[in-house]
Chains A and B, each alone.
Chain A
Amino acid sequence: MTTTMATTSSATTAAASSKSSPGPSTTGAAELARRGEPSPPALQESTLDPAEALYSEVIPAGNGWSREILAGQVLRIVDLEGNQAVDTLFFNAAATDERYSAPDTITAQKNIYLTTGSVLMSTEGRPMLTIVADTCGRHDTLGGACSAESNQVRYALEKKYMHSCRDSFLLELGRLGRGMGKRDLPSNINFFMNVPVTPEGGLSFADGLSAPGRYVEMRAEMNVLALISNCPQLNNPCNGYHPTPVRVLIWDAPAWDSTTWDVP
């Protein structure tokens, strides 16, 4: 398998990307129909204007990122070039031993996929964020983060040198200086990644459902610390064999609109 790293263009045009099939917003549904699977839930667009975001940054492939997000603020992650896995964790900013819990999230909604309406639950059973918009349609809760050691098991002992999400997570936690480390890395979310589970208990890594410009947007229900690794994995199709940048934007909580108040 060749692992050439093509030069990443910063353009978001679909034509330039080799990572996904360009098309209308129903690409995800069309792909699932082709495989004989039920359609994903309806995609939900956002009404927020990126020009009004108080924060907007591009995370290059292979980089880590973190930021505190206050209750009420909205985080959007944009899959700029399509089918890029974004490994994500959330922590209660005030007490980081309370953190995003994949099992609590999955069992609360009785579904292994995340999309609009999914509530990201904490280890204490409290809502941390709610997904309010999603133009991809399905995000993964089971696939976890790659590591040097899991790359050795899954691919070859000699691949230990390859960059991995866990390295990015650990380095970003170190930069935060909050005393967090490996013990603080439980099962993470993989935005834009598609890991189907069959009723017979099979697991596969299918081609993703995402496409250039797709995004997922979530509102914080408590003050959270968000931690991202923009996945560098080259050995399976989770990044379309070509890791690419993503953009994160944060909007402030909507202000009160005094014109809608009933003034007695």
Chain B
Amino acid sequence: MSQDQHLNLTLTCHAKPGEGPGAMRFLLVEDNAQLAAAVLDRLAHDGHVVDHAADLETAGDFVATTDYDLILLDIMLPDGDGRSFLNAQRARGATTPVIVLTARSEVSDRVGALDMGADDYISKPFDFAELEARCRAVLRRRAGTATNRIRFGNAAFDPLAGTLTVEGRAITLRNRELRLLEVFFAAPGQIIPKPKLVDRLFSYDEDVSENAIEVYVGRLRRHLEGSEVSIVTVRGLGYRLAVP
């Protein structure tokens, strides 16, 4: 089974229990239990399925039996260097995308990880928004033409490609619009408070007021014009995606 077919299959398999739209299967290889717990928590919260391996041996067992959409790989592990695992994976022809998590200095590690076939790397401590952005970028590169659409009426949203199609008219969304729409499309009908949206969209060193979110909601509303979907303001509480 080719990587594209596999991705396509996993991404469109929405009916699986516990997996929401856009859900993916991750393998996290990380020996620090607390950090792993936090990452697992976050990814699960976003509706993904995550397996956790605390060492390379366990990771080897996992990849031998399961096809993952993405592997998050730490470099310094108790039973070896994550890069040798990566090397071995690539040597045996496995093409699952890998994002290396490194706690080491960029100045000494950079070349090694990318040369050994990692698709990207991220330095600890990382921003979940950056991790998601990197995962998205890697998957987008790997997926090619694979589609992963969430459809409500005449509006279809492809979070990987970042496109919104309304009545056959495709709009390429900017990154913040995309992330905002992703929040709404993941929870149709639910009231989403403004502060949550602020957290999703802005980094922590930006001093933004909750009103800043209105600009982006306004843009999404313009994009959604003519669709059967709308973003409704719930006074004093937040916003809600109204679907047919």
Question: Are A and B subunits of one complex?
Answer: no
